[in-house]
Structure 1
């Protein structure tokens, strides 16, 4: 069975979420493209909100 490659923007959102959970700053975003950087920051913001709500320690 072939594995499908995930969309770059979806992957950026996931990586941003992981960075937010890890406690990294949003200045550590590795992307330069505005569209992909926006997705990364969206994931980062979602992780910060989840941490503030107590979903992660």
Structure 2
């Protein structure tokens, strides 16, 4: 069975979320493309918000799996 490629925008969001959750700087965004960068930063902001609200890695993984 062939594997479908992942949605790169969703992947950028998830990677940004993980970076925000682990308190990394938004300056570390690896994307220069506008849409991928926007999704990464949106995920980063959400991750930072969740980190401030007290979510840890295990709780956050459940949140990401719902997307």
User: RMSD of the alignment, in Å?
Assistant: 1.3
Gaps of 5+ in 2: 58-67
| Count of aligned pairs between the two proteins | 57
1:9-45 deviation line (CA, Å, top 9, x unaligned) = 0000011011111211000000001111000000000
Map 1:26-41 onto structure 2 (within 5 A).
26-41=26-41
Gaps of 5+ in 1: none
**Equivalent position of 1:50 in the other structure:** 50
CA distance in 1 between partners of 2:46 and 2:2 (Å): 31
Map 1:17-28 onto structure 2 (within 5 A).
17-28=17-28
Moved over 2 A (4+): none
| TM-score where L is the length of structure 1 | 0.89
